[in-house]
Structure formats: structure tokens, C-alpha cells
Amino acid sequence: MKLAKRVASLTPSSTLAITAKAKELKAAGYDVIGLGAGEPDFNTPQHIMEAAVKAMYDGHTKYTPSGGLATLKEEIIKKFQQDQQLDYKPSEIIVCVGAKHALYTLFQVILDEGDEVIIPTPYWVSYPEQVKLAGGVPIYVEGLEQNEFKITPEQLKQAITDRTKAVIINSPSNPTGVIYTKEELQALGEVCLAHDVLIVSDEIYEKLVYGGHEHVSVAQLSPELKKQTIIINGVSKSHSMTGWRIGYAAGDADIIRAMTDLASHSTSNPTSIAQYAAIAAYSGSQEPVEQMRQAFEERLNIIYDRLIQIPGFSCVKPQGAFYLFPNAKEAATMTGYESVDAFVEALLEEAKVALVPGSGFGAPNNVRLSYATSLELLHQALDRIATFVNEKTRG
């Protein structure tokens, strides 16, 4: 049977591909260290799991409203008020089956065939695929490494056409871990206001910020920018709840209504039990969130210093998330490989360390290394990478 054109053009996820290859080698008995993880290595906090169990025994195992439980929406509203001093109404919030689903649903309701979405590179792998699935056209703007991978207002202006519908801002970023400052967001926001471009602000890593830096939402900066912005967030990264699949979008009531209508015909509703767990995540103690953040910051500072000592690697130090995104082009050349992709493949086959090639993120000279694993394994992985590079260089 012939498949639909919309799926024929999809690019498989590079993160899933490298994870699958690493698992295949592990299953064959090899000692593989996988650094491709896009999720915290901590379990969900105890009080959240207990709330889910209680919800089941209390009979909360039925359908919920398509846009999410009213109680959960209220907790999300409180979170916005407390963290960003932003006021939203329940009609301006939709709870989805993860932040990825929130993004997918958003693009489905705002894009017509041929509409353009500006995507800064490096980008999270699913942004362009979701835009294409909605009939849109990804327009890539390169975030230069010398500018910490961040795009400028001038670059944004040059990319805007009469078909531009939205721009995606991901801060802190996956895969780079960099954060846009308040001033940088203000400048980008002014361009969007002047050209009536919707801002899609992916803030899923907002709680994982290091080195005294702060997360700022573009929606905080003015009432006009709040109206122009759809915030995407969730509990996956902040509360180590990736498998629970609870995310949400906040913004214009008409867009949220359309997203809710679409969700009613696709998912019916987010899982009831997971929603009660998310209520506990936001209403309960935030101490586990801070403990996890501190652990990631400790790992970052140790591992970053080690990585940049390996010949052929250079790296912009991340300010958030849990990834390093070093440039490995010189390392690939030194070791005799024509591309970073080939270098990554050889590293997995010979040194048994799984990194994600940057080509999947629109940055073919880089690799993504997740430090969402133990320090012990991170040290072992860097030992193997250093040995691999040194032996290949000498040999």
C-alpha cells in the first residue's frame, strides 16, 4: 500500500536512531555508554507517584475534559503567576499529551499549506517535522556558534516573508543549552510585533538553569508580547516525568480553543492519572526539582572542563538543560573521518560510546552529549573518547 506524502517526507529521529543502535550493541553483550538521553536520570519524586496511586484508588480513571482537568489548569495558572508574573485564564490553557503533542497540535491549527515557520538552528529534531506534517515550510536561520548559537534581530528580519506565520524560540535550548537574555528576547519580540509573527516559546527546560543565569519568557516582557506568544511547557524535564506525558500550551484563547477542539478528535484527553500526578508536581514540594538542578549543574561543571581538554573538541558552555553540544569537526578530521557523522558512528562501534550527531539538529559539525547520567559513567565515556581520539591521531 502506498503511504501518504505527508509521512514519506519525514526524517527519522537521529536521537532515536543512535539509541536503537546502542541498545542493539548492548543486547549483543557490549559495554556501551549511551549519552543520547533526552530525559533526566532521576525517578519521579515520591509525592507525585503517591498522588497518582491515590487518584487510581479514588476512581479518577475515566475521561477528563479534552483540554485538561480544571484543577490542573488552576495549578498551571498559579505556576505562571509565581514564576513569570503572568496571568492566564483557564480558557487560555490546554493540557496535552506531553509538550511535543502541544507543539504538534499548535502547528496543526495555525498553519495552512505553504505557511512558513522560522526555526533557528541548531534545533530540536521534531520542530521541522511537525511543521511539515501541518503543511508548513521550515525556514532555517543559523544561530552562529560565535554568537552562542543564538539568532539576531537582523537575521530574523531577513527571514520574514509574507508567508511567515511563526518563529520558534527554545530557551534554554535543546541541543545547545544556551539561554536568550531579556534584552535579546525583547529585540526579537519587537521584530515579531512589527511583522505580526506568532512567537512559539518552548520553555520545557526553564527549571534547569545554571551558573547564576535566569530563564526569562518573552511573554513577560510586555502585554503586547504576551498576546503574540504561545508558551509551550510541561512537567517532563522539570519533575522527571517524561513517561507521564503531560505538557501544556498557554496563549490566545482562540488558538487554545482550536487546539482543544482538535485534541477532542485525536487524543480525547491526556491520561487522567497523569494529570493528577501533574497537579501534585506543581502543588507539592519543589525541593526535588532544585536537588535535580543542582546535580545537573555539578555534572556540567565537571564534564565541561574535561571535554574541552580532548583534542579536536571545542564547546560553548551551556547555561541550561542537560546537554553539551561541542564542535567535533576538528576531532573528526584529525582521526581520519570525512564527517562528524562518520566519527560518531566509529566512536560507537569501536569505543562503545553513543553520542548524537549534530546533523539531526541542523548543525553537522557538532555532536550532542547528554549529561543526564551518573558522573561515574560520564567520566568513563570521556576517558573512552579521549583514548579513541589520541590513538586514531597517533595511528
Element (H, E) at 367: strand 367-370
Q: What are the residues whose beta carbons fall under 8 Å from the beta carbon of 261, sequence distance 6 or more?
A: 66
Q: In 3D, which of 127, 111, 101 has the Cα closest to residue 249?
A: 101
pLDDT in tens, 213-264: 999 999 999 999 999 999 999 999 999 999 999 999 999 999 999 999 999 9
Residue ranges of domains in the chain, CATH in brackets: 5-43+287-388 (3.90.1150.10), 63-284 (3.40.640.10)
pLDDT higher than 90, residue 394 = no
CB 341 within 8 A of CB 359: yes
Q: Place 1 in a pLDDT band, splitting at 50, 70 and 90.
A: confident
Residue 76's pLDDT is 99
CB 42 within 8 A of CB 292: yes
Report the alpha-carbon distance of residue 140 to residue 164 in Å, rounded.
12
Residue 276's pLDDT is 98
Quick one: what percent of the chain has pLDDT higher than 70? 99
Report the alpha-carbon distance of residue 173 to residue 322 in Å, rounded.
10
Write down the residue that cell numbers 539576531 correspond to. Answer: 152
Element (H, E) at 231: strand 229-234
Residue 2's pLDDT is 87
How crowded is residue 344: how many other Cβ atoms within 10 Å of its Cβ? 24
pTM of the model: 0.97
> Max alpha carbon distance in the chain (Å)?
65
Q: Place 161 in a pLDDT band, splitting at 50, 70 and 90.
A: very high
CB 264 within 8 A of CB 270: no
Mean pLDDT in residue range 107-131: 98
Element (H, E) at 229: strand 229-234
How crowded is residue 373: how many other Cβ atoms within 10 Å of its Cβ? 18
Element (H, E) at 169: strand 164-170
Residue 13's pLDDT is 73
